[in-house]
Amino acid sequence: MKTEPLSILVRNPLAGVFVALTVIFALSALLSPYFLTPYNLSVIARGLAFVGLITIAQSMLMVLGELDLSLGVIGGLCGVISGILMVKLGIEPYSAMLLAVLLGACLGLFNGLLVTTLRLHSLVLTIGTAGIFGGANLVLTRGVAITGIPKEVQFLGRGDVLGVPVPFLIMLAALAVATFVMVKTPFGRYMYAIGNNQAGARMLGIRVDRIRLLVFVAAGAIAGLAGVLMVARLGTAQPSIGDTWVLAPIAASVIGGVATTGGVGSPIGAIFGAGIIAVIENIIVLFGVSPYWQGIVSGAIVVLAISFDAISRRYLRRENG
Amino acid sequence: MAYLETHGLGRDFPGVTALDGVDLKIELGRTHILAGENGAGKSTLVKILTGTDQASRGRVLVDGRDPAEDPTLYKNIAYVPQELNLFPQMSVAENLFMPFSRTGHGGALVDRKALVEEARTYLDRFGIEADPRALVAHISVSDQQLLQIARACTNAEMKVLILDEPTSSLTRVEVERVFKVIRALLDRDHAIVFISHKMEEVFEIGDDYTVLRNGEKVDSGRIADITEADLIRAMSGRDLSFEEHFRPETTVGEAIMEVRGLTGARFEDISFDLRKGEILGFAGLVGAGRSEVMQTIFGFQKAKAGSVTVAGKPWALNDTSRSVAGGMLYLSEERKHHGIFPLLSLRENIGISLLSLTTGPLGISDRKERGAVQEIIDAYGIRTAGMGKRIAELSGGNQQKAIIGRAMATRPRVLIFDEPTKGIDIRTKTEIYRIMKRLAEEGVGVILVSSELNELKKCASRIITMHNGRITGDFAATDTNNETLVGAIFGTEAKADEN
């Protein structure tokens, strides 16, 4: 069999983004002596954990052909609710966190029910529900952080196991579960089928709406988990948690090979994409780029990354007829 | 010298030669039939002729000049793809002249009045009945097909018009409208390249022909000098008994499915029995409501009234997953929209119906899935470079075989084929007929919806005709002549019966 130099990239869509991540990682290590220090790496990993959880949730929805712009706000609302439950209502902290995650699942259910029963466009609907959830957050907190989160749960956000940040491990566990479900179970196959061709999936007797609903629920729960872990990390329930979790996970998913139109890609690819963004943002800080310029630089690099990806795909397709 | 010629045209893709040494001569004022099975290289050839792909070897000559050196020559060649490629939410007139700059309607503002006025002349010329201001989504399929041809002809420099299966979703009467347009274009000294799998049309409209097989030209000449059998032999490379019948040879048993008074959005009071051991054909015009009836029985569309029983038990309507679980499958004519998952591999497309066999406690087993999918690939003769290939890259016939193979694996009790051979070459058609026959003989209830009378007469034991949402006749296939059937399809015969 003839091997084309780039054929591995065609056969395995993950290879491209993995190579890109490795190259950016190596370049960063060469460019900055601080990059590979354990402290810096753990900063990257801890930051990646939270955006990463949202990225997993968003990429699952994107494979179905849906987008949920309220995931970040769900994270924020669940975070402050967990704070209120444990600090103001004195509920046992772990139970409070669990309840908050369940709330995330319920908010996902709310989105999912509206999308599936009324046949709404998820992107537009979740602009609306994001307003509702975000507003509820402000009504409950009046914009003021809830302090006094018990020390015992802060380990989940701040702690390390063998030098690896705990939230990063939790994100990896969520990634493993999501990947197993999507790659190895019928449920996952049905997700891809729905993302490819919803009518075709119905024709095969797949319970399309039930699966879409369940993925919205799972995404909401994961977003809630991210919010709760962020509270554990900060030690306070900030109303602003989740503000930056809206666009980066979508960009990360696209960089990682998940199409906004659905049907292709995987959470692993999306996490590689999130890794690329995290490393780039880190190296910008290490270089001391003025904070005013950081948005421009990181935005430009995302544009470059997806353009490069699109061009290489087109080139590969031409080679393969 | 012919107007459009190719000399030793070849096109290589990694690992595959799609075209090799193809010589072609297209003359003005004549219809040239481009014949070949799915995957014979017709599409690749058309892409090179229209400039969307470049040849690896050989050359194209348009009016004696090479378009590779002068790309403006490509403007003389227009192409109408098989799939409708219109803007459904824009008006007929807008569709006709898009892009406006090409057709002299450019400028900062679009003059809608002028657009509509000029559109009328085209619509008259092409016999399109729709209003130029109507949305394309609201006009008939045959008008849409003609509109695509008319749009290609708004290009004033067009000399050669390539039509890729322009009649595949049209009924006999509508085909006549397309042929009228073709004849008018020939009178204006245009050349037509006509791609079709329907033999009667090929012999009716064709002047010259070229047959491709496996990327090579195997035969060419005048249609008047070749018989249907010879043309089919040239395309398939072997003898096919195209007069063969595929009716089940078993005796007809008890009813598997009984439909009573079924009513839906576009049909009323449909009652019939599907019996064990028969292939039940459904004939009718496009829009007669046949697909709607089947999709309603299957649960894909909502039923308003009526009941269905399968094996004596009431059948739940409005739920496709219960239908599938209960052993009923519907194979849609819309392969692209209802059948395949285009971005997934052949393996995943087939494997999706085998998951109950291939999933163990550790999830879907790679090994089991490969084995089960390979069995289907072998059993149904699906030609592919490997099961990891995206299904969208396979030819239409192979996609259809994958869909059928996948359906068989679920061991259905009732199987509904809706236009299963649309856009599929003759050899694959025969294979599909054999599969239907075998299933019926094994006791599966088989329904065949088809717009080709020949196909129904070849395969069906019994033919039910529909017109305008109602059943107009129920005939044994062996002792029915075409006139009676056509009468029932057009609703004339039935009215006489009712009165």
The whole-number pLDDT of residue A7 equals 47
**Cα B432 to Cα B240, B382, B397, distances in angstroms:** 14, 12, 10
| pTM of the model as a whole | 0.79
Residues A4, B14: C-beta atoms closer than 8 Å: yes
Give yes or no for A2 touching B (CB within 8 A): yes
Residue of B nearest to A191 (CA): B352
β-pairing verdict for B445-449 and B462-467:
unpaired
The whole-number pLDDT of residue A170 equals 97
Nearest to A146 by CA among A246, A272, A234: A234
The whole-number pLDDT of residue A45 equals 95
The per-residue pLDDT of chain A, averaged, comes to 89
**Domain residue extents for chain A:** 46-243
Interface of B to A at Cβ within 8 Å reads 13-16, 18, 298, 300, 320-325, 330, 332, 337-344, 348, 351-353, 355-356, 359, 362-364, 388
Q: Is the pLDDT of residue A290 over 70?
A: yes
Say if residues B303 and B296 touch (Cβ distance below 8 Å). Answer: yes
Tokens found for residue A231: 């509270």
Give yes or no for A202 touching B (CB within 8 A): yes
Residues A320, B13: C-beta atoms closer than 8 Å: yes
The whole-number pLDDT of residue A2 equals 39
Higher pLDDT, B166 or A45: A45
Nearest to B4 by CA among B152, B153, B151, B159: B159
Residues B364, A185: C-beta atoms closer than 8 Å: yes
**Residue A200, min C-alpha distance to chain B (Å):** 4
Residues B364, A184: C-beta atoms closer than 8 Å: yes
> How much is the CA Rg of chain B, to the nearest whole Å?
24
Q: Which residues of A touch B324 (CB under 8 A)?
A: 204-205
The whole-number pLDDT of residue B242 equals 54
Residue of B nearest to A196 (CA): B341
Which of A101-105, A130-134, A269-273, A289-293 is the least confident region?
A289-293
Q: What ipTM does this complex have?
A: 0.83
DSSP 3-state of A170? helix
Q: Which residues of A touch B364 (CB under 8 A)?
A: 183-186, 189
For residue B418, the cross-strand partners are B449
Give yes or no for A261 touching B (CB within 8 A): no
Q: 3-class secondary structure for chain B? A: CCCEEEEEEEEEECCEEEEEEEEEEECCCCEEEEECCCCCCHHHHHHHHCCCCCCCEEEEEECCECCCCCHHHHHHEEEECCCCCCCCCCEHHHHHHCCCCCCCCCCCCCCHHHHHHHHHHHHHHCCCCCCCCCEHHHCCHHHHHHHHHHHHHCCCCCCEEEEECCCCCCCHHHHHHHHHHHHHHHHCCCEEEEECCCHHHHHHHCCEEEEEECCEEEEEEEHHHCCHHHHHHHHHCCCCCCCCCCCCCCCCCCEEEEEEEEEECCEEEEEEEEECCCEEEEEECCCCCHHHHHHHHHCCCCCCEEEEEECCEECCCCCHHHHHHCCEEEECCCHHHHHCCCCCEHHHHHHCCCHHHHEECCEECHHHHHHHHHHHHHHCCCCCCCCCCEHHHCCHHHHHHHHHHHHHHCCCCEEEEECCCCCCCHHHHHHHHHHHHHHHHCCCEEEEECCCHHHHHHHCCEEEEEECCEEEEEEECCCCCHHHHHHHHCCHHHHHHHC
The whole-number pLDDT of residue B68 equals 85
Residues A197, B300: C-beta atoms closer than 8 Å: no
DSSP 3-state of A146? strand
The whole-number pLDDT of residue A78 equals 97
pLDDT band per the 50, 70, 90 thresholds, residue A313: low
**Residue B305, min C-alpha distance to chain A (Å):** 21
What are the b/e assignments for A220-229, b being 16+ CB within 10 Å?
Answer: bbbbbbbbbb
**Residue A185, min C-alpha distance to chain B (Å):** 5
| pLDDT tens for chain B, residues 1 to 499 | 789 999 999 998 766 778 899 999 999 999 999 988 777 888 889 999 998 888 899 999 999 999 888 888 998 999 998 877 888 889 999 888 877 776 677 667 777 888 888 899 889 888 888 899 999 988 888 888 889 988 888 888 889 999 998 887 777 778 888 899 899 999 999 999 999 878 888 999 999 999 998 888 999 999 999 988 888 888 877 655 556 788 888 888 889 999 999 999 889 999 999 999 899 999 987 778 899 999 999 999 999 999 999 988 999 888 999 999 999 999 988 877 888 998 899 999 999 999 988 998 889 998 999 999 999 999 888 888 889 888 988 888 888 889 999 998 888 999 999 999 877 777 788 888 998 999 999 999 999 999 877 788 889 999 999 988 899 989 887 777 777 777 787 765 444 444 3
Q: Which residues of A touch B360 (CB under 8 A)?
A: none
DSSP 3-state of A157? helix
Higher pLDDT, B110 or A35: A35
Interface test with A, best of B294, B298, B318, B320 (most A CBs within 10 A): B320
Residue of B nearest to A181 (CA): B363
Residues B355, A207: C-beta atoms closer than 8 Å: no
Q: Which residues of B touch A11 (CB under 8 A)?
A: 388
Residue of B nearest to A192 (CA): B344
Q: Is the pLDDT of residue A3 over 70?
A: no
